[in-house]
Amino acid sequence: MTDKKVKILETALELFATQGYNAVATNKLAKQAGVSEGLIFKHFTNKKGLLDALLNDAERRMGQLFGPVLMETDPAKVIKMTIELPFSIPQSEYNFWRLQFKLKWQGEYYKPDKMKPVLEKLTAAFQALEYDFPQYEAEVLNYIIDSVSVGILRDGLEKHFHQKDFLIKKYKL
Amino acid sequence: MTDKKVKILETALELFATQGYNAVATNKLAKQAGVSEGLIFKHFTNKKGLLDALLNDAERRMGQLFGPVLMETDPAKVIKMTIELPFSIPQSEYNFWRLQFKLKWQGEYYKPDKMKPVLEKLTAAFQALEYDFPQYEAEVLNYIIDSVSVGILRDGLEKHFHQKDFLIKKYKL
Amino acid sequence: MTDKKVKILETALELFATQGYNAVATNKLAKQAGVSEGLIFKHFTNKKGLLDALLNDAERRMGQLFGPVLMETDPAKVIKMTIELPFSIPQSEYNFWRLQFKLKWQGEYYKPDKMKPVLEKLTAAFQALEYDFPQYEAEVLNYIIDSVSVGILRDGLEKHFHQKDFLIKKYKL
Amino acid sequence: MTDKKVKILETALELFATQGYNAVATNKLAKQAGVSEGLIFKHFTNKKGLLDALLNDAERRMGQLFGPVLMETDPAKVIKMTIELPFSIPQSEYNFWRLQFKLKWQGEYYKPDKMKPVLEKLTAAFQALEYDFPQYEAEVLNYIIDSVSVGILRDGLEKHFHQKDFLIKKYKL
DNA sequence: TATGAATGAGTATTCATTCAT
DNA sequence: GATGAATGAATACTCATTCAT
């Protein structure tokens, strides 16, 4: 992986995340990355290929983020950690997650399965805690952390920090 | 308002909602509407102007949807009706709301104030019901109905119908 | 000649003279004239037809302006009157002459013959006054009044007024 | 500067000079230059940018043409050389000067200051030769050579050649 | 690996003109 | 005589992609 290839990826992530995939011309991307336009296509064949390269990390990063939750055995802790998830995203990965959410709404790229393991883990946790409708509880909590994540990525961490403690209290954890 | 102008608006709503504003070319739009491309610009000046014409309805439709909630005085009913909101969107308006949510994520068009009256009404309701953190409760419920709405518009009503009763039960209404 | 037809002609003259024939859209012309776009074509068939209608006056107005010069018999007076020509254009006809000059430079419409009678009259006058090269003298004076006219139409009468007396003195009239 | 870029400039000069800037469509220009339409915009950003590139030479070419006059110290020679100016334009630059004059009449581009140094030099020369109204004499001569230039560019050199000797004689040089 | 000149299909928009009423 | 809805060809400009060097 050469320096220039890295620079292309970094710049693409930043621009795609802030302006949207379609709104970014390879033209401008190349200029901002300090690279010739041709090089993008040498390395990634397509503009789509560049996006894919960016998204390939998704698996890994999601694993990194969700892994600890999935490994946890104490059901209360599973729920608590899930609530804490959006607040534990490293600032350095904000653009990556912004891109994820942008694409989710741009259609084509939405993959609901991505969250399935977490959803199942949550269901099991709510079941262990003897909630009446563990699956529905899991769905709703998933909705909440989804919206909280969106808010944090949009407004910054501070404006949403109170929600962490509130949710933890609300779920009596 | 001539037939052709109406046809342009209808077609635009459908295409913008499903494919996204940027992804729809005016020439394709014109062809699908059975109209000359020029007519779009005669009537709406801009592609943007066409979008605006579509969005001008937003105010009215939101009022129509949220109105009953805002008028309600019984706090329990306020919350119940809020939960029922996403399930009461007329199927004929799905494309309109799809467009709303798409634009919210495309940036530029996000107006958080739109929901403010509902948020305040919810806060008051939770307060009346002596919840500990009425404002935070309102925020969270707002998050939930937001996500439920998105889900319904994406997957259809049936796949989310169970959530209505569950939420009503969860909030003890 | 209906009121609206007159209004179209007036507006067209003003806009063509100031912005140029090609730069004026029938669109805007109609709006500014307070008339439907279709009416322009009812009355003048073409945009070109509208221009022609404007230009048909040319003959008459040129006759009006040049007539006295052509009728004069005293050679000195012929030259003097020619020099005075650009300064005697009624302010109300400035737009008409602006249009003339604009078209002359836009190509297509240049008709050098228009000035021929004046040129011949001038030649005869210079000959009568025993100038060595009466035809060339006529050409040069023609050049001068052409440029003076352009200047007046561009900058206004005042900025060029001194040139009248100077030229009269220069030609010892 | 690649071959194709040069070809674009050459073709643009020819077409703009003969048909006028607005009358030339970029797609026709591209076809005649044997170049893709996109390349015009790669190299010059705008159609306007292409015109500017053409006009940037103006300064240089004017200097080249007027320079010798401005350097001359003998007042008689200054006037003589000024008279000779329009006749000394290299045939290869006719299109360039046609474009200059066309734009001067199209408005927007008229810069009267361009001729100021020559005008001042002429004024000084007429003063040195003890003309009564040196500044006005300069203005008039400027008018004459302006019109002569226009004539030459329109009709060709031959039809106006006699005017050089006549003017030199007229000004007793 | 890296460049940058070049392409061609596509995009929003303009505009003179037609036509039913 | 007058309107205004509608057309379709043309226009300036964009953009992902190719290719010779």
User: Tokens 């013959």 label which residue?
Assistant: C113
Probe site for chain D from C105, C109, C170 (most D CB atoms < 10 A): C105
Minimal Cβ distance to B144: which of A22, A110, A143: A143
Describe the crossing of helices D134-155 and D94-105 by its angle, rounded to 10 degrees. Answer: 120
- pTM equals 0.91
- What was the pLDDT predicted at C108? 66
- What was the pLDDT predicted at C22? 92
Tell me if chain B has a CB within 8 Å of the CB of A172: no
- pLDDT exceeding 90 applies to what percent of chain A? 85
Probe site for chain A from B166, B167, B168, B171 (most A CB atoms < 10 A): B166
CB A110 within 8 A of CB A64: no
- What was the pLDDT predicted at A112? 64
Dihedral (Cα; A36, A37, A42, A45), 10-degree rounding: 160
Tell me which residues of chain B have a pLDDT lower than 50. none
User: Tokens 């004459």 label which residue?
Assistant: D144
Output B145-152 pairs: Cβ under 8 A, ≥24 positions apart.
B145/B82, B145/B83, B145/B85, B145/B86, B146/A143, B146/A147, B147/A143, B147/A144, B147/A146, B147/A147, B148/A143, B148/B86, B149/B85, B149/B86, B149/B89, B149/B97, B149/B101, B150/B101, B151/A143, B152/B86, B152/B87, B152/B89
Flag the least confident range among B2-16, B129-143, D48-62, D76-90: D48-62
Please report how many Cα atoms fall inside a 13 Å half-sphere around the Cα of residue D2, on the Cβ side. 8
- What was the pLDDT predicted at D137? 98
**Protein CA A38 to sugar C1' E2 (Å):** 8
CB B116 within 8 A of CB A143: no
Tell me if chain C has a CB within 8 Å of the CB of D15: no
Residues 84-123 of C with CB under 8 A from D: 101-102, 105-107, 110
- What was the pLDDT predicted at C110? 60
Distance CA C159, CA C155 (A): 7
- What was the pLDDT predicted at C112? 64
Query: What structural domains and CATH numbers belong to chain A?
Result: 3-170 (1.10.357.10)
User: Tokens 């292409």 label which residue?
Assistant: D50
- What was the pLDDT predicted at B105? 81
Residues of D in contact with C137 (CB under 8 A): 170
User: Tokens 């993008």 label which residue?
Assistant: A40
Residues 107-136 of C with CB under 7 A from strand E: none
CB D126 within 8 A of CB D137: yes
Is 90 exceeded by the pLDDT of residue D121? yes
- What was the pLDDT predicted at C104? 85
Judged on CB neighbours under 10 Å (0-12, 13-18, 19+), D163 is buried
Flag the least confident range among B58-67, D100-109, D135-144: D100-109
For residue C112, the tally of other CB atoms under 10 A from its CB is 11
- What was the pLDDT predicted at A106? 77
Distance CA B66, CA B145 (A): 13
Residues of D in contact with C140 (CB under 8 A): 144, 163, 166-167, 170
Flag the least confident range among A57-66, C92-101, C105-114, D3-12: C105-114
Q: Per-block average pLDDT, block size 10, for chain C (173 residues)? A: 95 95 96 97 97 88 92 97 96 93 77 84 98 97 96 95 97 93
Distance of CA C18 to the CA centre of its chain: 14
CB C40 within 8 A of CB C71: no
CB C83 within 8 A of CB C69: no
Tell me if chain D has a CB within 8 Å of the CB of C25: no
- What was the pLDDT predicted at C69? 96
- What was the pLDDT predicted at C1? 86
Minimal Cβ distance to C144: which of D105, D144, D162: D144
Distance CA C69, CA D140 (A): 22
- What was the pLDDT predicted at B145? 96
